[in-house]
Structure 1
Amino acid sequence: MATEVKVPVLGESVTEATVGEWLKQVGDAVAADEPIASLETDKVAVEVPSPVAGIISGFSVELGETVEVGAVIATVEEGAAPAAKPKADAPAETTKVAPAPAEDAPTIEDAPTMSPAVRRAVLEHGVDPTTIKGTGKDGRLTKEDVLAAAKAKDAAPAAAPAATPAPTAPAAAKGERREERVKMTRMRQTIAKRLKGAQEEAALLTTFNDCDMTAVIEAREAYKDMFAKKHGIKLGFMSFFAKAAALALKDVPAVNAQIDGDEIVYHDYVDLSVAVSAPNGLVVPVVRSIDQMSFAEIELAIADFGKRAKEGSLTMEDMTGGTFTISNGGVFGSLMSTPIINPPQSAVLGLHRIEDRPVALNGEVVIRPMMYLALSYDHRIIDGREAVTALKIMKEAIEDPMRMLIDL
């Protein structure tokens, strides 16, 4: 009996998505609740599970097609026995026209299910997907896994003469210039629209300060081992800045507020959006009531979001809300930036790299680990005095962490 696979409810006010990846192919066996497709919404990727165990008998839509909630995207023949997998030495029947692998080498079909982008990368770089450990959800290969394997392969010393490598796409001739057009993902289109909308609607302004990281670095060094042993997580910088931000937002509530029509909505809580990198772009999951959390709870929550962002398993609920954002460009080496607010929020704190710089201290020039801080804010709701005051409170809390313990 054929069972229809339909687009599930995607989240509040989300009515459609784009088919971003088939995790299974026609003829593949699938277990009940096993994901068979990944849908891209405006914020996150949502996996669609099979409602029954059986064999995928067909797809009703094409890759990249926009589908609405409740639409049928595939059918599963319930209870059908999986087709026997051909032996390694038997010729596999396939219509694939990609470059053939070397004789007796594992074929791309022997590898776990791969997305089109990953499959293309495997073929382009001539790596064996069966020898690569996947870091994606359920151990699936990601494009980054393939690129890392290709880089390691190129860096490895030459071994004994091997079989003639499989033919690959011809390399570009010297002086030849190429272009590639890749359709923007739904998430990337949404990011572009939201950020441009923020520039056009909000009265954006950025105030800067620098902060001496000595005290935080010394605190981490002194307690990192005990902290990790007790809580099972490393003590990072983000929890210090999250607590410092919560302290400042309580004292300057306008920085934690937002405009709704002709009203200003103030919050007596801090739901912190933490910008993290995901395969399809920057995402901002929300750590709720961070002002009520301990350092360990903050570190654990942020680490979990980072892991799930890499796996593509964040949910719509994870991304909803948020009253203030912290974006850490320092992990990529940024010295200074002017971050853009995440609407409808009214402010965002930008962190940057730590570097030793000469500073004047008690009449002497000393070398200190310094970081530039940037607070971008909507001048329609936040005055310059309030923005500067909030950033100064954050700076002082980082330079003297005891302030965060005694609520100063």
Structure 2
Amino acid sequence: MAIEIKAPAFPESVADGEVAAWHKQEGESVSRDELIVEIETDKVVMEVVAPEDGVITRIHALEGDTIESEQLLATLEQGAAASAPAADSAAGESTPAPATADEDLAALLGPAARQLVEEHQLDISQIKGSGKNGRITKEDILKFMKAGGGSEAAAPAAARPAAAPAPAPEAADTPVPSGERVEKRVPMTRMRAKIAERLLNATQQTAMLTTFNEVNMAPMMALRSKYKEQFEKAHNGTRLGFMGMFVKAACEALKRFPEVNASIDGNDVVYHGYQDIGVAVSTENGLVVPVLRDADFMSIADIEAAIRDLGLRARDNKLTIEDMTGGTFTVTNGGVFGSLMSTPILNPPQTGILGMHKIQERPMAVNGEVVILPMMYLALSYDHRLIDGKTAVQFLVAVKDLIEDPARILLQL
């Protein structure tokens, strides 16, 4: 029985997708729920699995093809099994020779990866596959070549052309080349291109402005140091970080200044009576912003656990489009990479984004004396079309006050 394997149904916010990588080829057997192909959209990478046991009889969309929602990707023959052609003894044919090691490795290549190997005469035995069951992906090939693997360096000796005799030098003062000026041109992934488009639109279509402040992190650090071990034991290994406190502080400040939690829809202002906080996460494919739903009702432990889960799923390309949809406000932490100060870019249609930064000891004047304190710069970028400077500054000061006196978060003061 032939079964059609189709692309997932994309939500309205996703126009189309691109076939990122086939993990099975025509003629290969698959098991139910086994990964067949990955579809990259402008938000997430979606996995398509086999609906039943069988054999892939035909692939209708190749790697790199643009596809639409529920488009036909492949045909699966249910219950069939791939088998090698049997020897025809009547015709005097000999038993087929067992596959060589090179042939076994070649079977691990997808179409795009195989094309790169053939073009650059690469020795695939030197390339480690990161795909399922050791499959070698296009990205594995590119990483190998970037690390120095190439047609001459990586090809087997038997496959290399014989070296031509070196020509005699024309003159003793002939200059020796100092090295090649290497360039490599690769197309943007769909996700990276969409991220670039959104960032550009955010700067061009909003009246974005940023206000800064600084916060004394000593009270928060003392609280964390005192309770981190008890917190981890009480909450099944969830670690006490700073993000949970900042998200709770942001939720409390958003209740006091609803304009910062609002969005602009044409000529209308939409005020959200809830706090869905987007948390910016950096991945190999680019920056993604999964959302914590109803963060104002979550405990600090719930927020910390959810952020860790979203981070791991983002790293493994397991986020769904639902995880990335919505959000009324965003928190981003450039401090984990060492950023001392930055201007975060809005995530439209949101009108505010809070930027955290590196904690650094600095001399501060306290009651007429110079004291060394662990300080962090905070940045609030906001859409000036809706939020006035006074409101933005007061919002950021509210976050600062809550962080410098964490008891206020619990007491909602």
**Range into which the TM-score falls when normalised by the shorter chain:** 0.7 to 0.9
- Cα offset for 1:55? 2.2
Q: 8 Å contact 1:10–1:46 — kept in the other structure?
A: no
For residues 43 and 132 of structure 2, what CA distance do their matches in structure 1 show?
A: 33
327-336 or 25-34, larger mean C-alpha shift:
25-34
**Alpha-carbon distance between aligned partners in 1 of 2:128 and 2:285, rounded to the nearest angstrom:** 28
Matched residue, 2:80: 80
2:242 counterpart of 1:229: no
Moved more, 368-377 or 5-14: 5-14
| Corresponding residue number in structure 2 for 1:150 | none
| Distance (whole Å) between structure 1 residues aligned to residue 124 and residue 272 of structure 2 | 59
The structure-2 alpha-carbon separation of the partners of 1:90 and 1:310, relative to structure 1 and needing over 3 Å to count, comes to: closer
**Aligned partner of residue 205 in structure 1, secondary structure:** strand
| 2:246 counterpart (241, 246, 257) | 241
Q: Shift of residue 317 of structure 1?
A: 0.6
Aligned residue for 1:193?
A: 197
1:354 is matched with 359
Looking at structure 1, the residues matched to 145 and 188 of structure 2 have their Cα atoms a distance apart, in angstroms, of 22
Note if 1:301 corresponds to 2:301: no
Alignment CA distance shift 1:123-1:176 (3 Å): closer
The CA deviation at 1:110 is 11
Q: Which residue of 1 is the match for residue 17 of structure 2?
A: 17
Bigger CA drift: 192-201 or 283-292?
192-201
1:329 aligns with 2:366: no
Q: Which residue of 1 aligns with 2:268?
A: 263
Equivalent-residue separation in structure 2 for 1:282 and 1:205 (angstroms): 21
Higher Rg: 2
CA distance in 2, matches of 1:229, 1:238: 19
Give CA deviations for 1:124-143 in whole Å, capped at 9, x if unaligned.
6489xxxxxxxxxxxxxxxx
1:112 partner letter:
G
Question: Secondary structure in 1 aligned to 2:412?
Answer: coil
Structure 2, unaligned stretches of length 5 or more?
Answer: 85-96, 107-113, 161-176
Residue 205, structure 1, aligned to residue 209, structure 2: yes
Structure 1, unmatched stretches of 5+, are 128-164
1:67 and 2:90 are equivalent in the alignment: no
Q: Distance in 2 between matches of 1:43 and 1:268?
A: 26
Q: 1:335 to 1:17 in 2, by over 3 A?
A: same
Amino acid at match of 2:64: G
Alignment match of 2:123 (pick from 100, 105, 110): 100
Are 2:30 and 2:53, in contact at CA under 8 Å, matched by a contact in 1?
A: yes
> What pairs with 1:167-178 in structure 2 (closer than 5 Å)?
167=155, 174-178=178-182
Shift of 1:59: 1.7
The CA distance in 2 between the partners of 1:107 and 1:251, in whole Å, is 54
Contact 1:124 1:168 in 2 (8 A): no
**2:55 aligned counterpart, secondary structure:** strand
Q: For each residue in 1:229-280, what CA deviation from the matched residue of structure 2 results, as whole angstroms up to 9, or x when unmatched?
A: 1112111110010011011111111111111121111112110000001221
In the alignment, the residues of structure 2 paired with residue 189 and residue 166 of structure 1 have an alpha-carbon distance, to the nearest angstrom, of 32
Aligned to 1:180: 184
Partner of 1:4: 4
Please tell me whether the aligned partners of residues 24 and 113 of structure 1 are also in contact (alpha carbons under 8 angstroms).
no
Percentage of matched positions with identical amino acids: 51
Q: 1:375 aligns with which of 370, 377, 380?
A: 380
Amino acid at match of 1:223: Y
Relative to structure 1, is the Cα distance of residues 264 and 58 closer, same or farther in structure 2, using a 3 angstrom cutoff? same
* 8 Å CA contact 1:3, 1:75 repeated in 2: yes
The answer to whether structure 1 residue 287 and structure 2 residue 292 are counterparts is: yes
Aligned to 1:217: 221
Instruction: Report the CA distance between 1:185 and its aligned residue.
Output: 1.4
Once the two structures are TM-superposed, the CA of residue 91 in structure 1 deviates from its matched residue by 5.6
TM-score normalised by the chain length of structure 2? 0.82
- Give the secondary-structure state (helix, strand or coil) at the position aligned to 2:339: coil
25-34 vs 396-405, which moves further:
25-34
Bigger shift: residues 236-245 or 89-98: 89-98
Which position in structure 2 is the counterpart of 1:40?
40
Deviates more, 1:32-41 or 1:377-386: 32-41
Q: Judging changes above 3 Å, is the alpha-carbon distance between structure 1 residues 27 and 402 closer, same or farther for their aligned structure 2 residues?
A: same
**For residues 124 and 380 of structure 1, what CA distance do their matches in structure 2 show?**
46
Q: Distance in 2 between matches of 1:235 and 1:54?
A: 47
Contact 1:23 1:114 in 2 (8 A): no
One of 387, 398, 402 as aligned partner of 1:397: 402
SS at match of 1:360: strand
Q: Secondary structure at the match of 1:312?
A: coil
393-402 vs 261-270, which deviates more?
Answer: 261-270
In the alignment, what sits opposite 2:389?
384
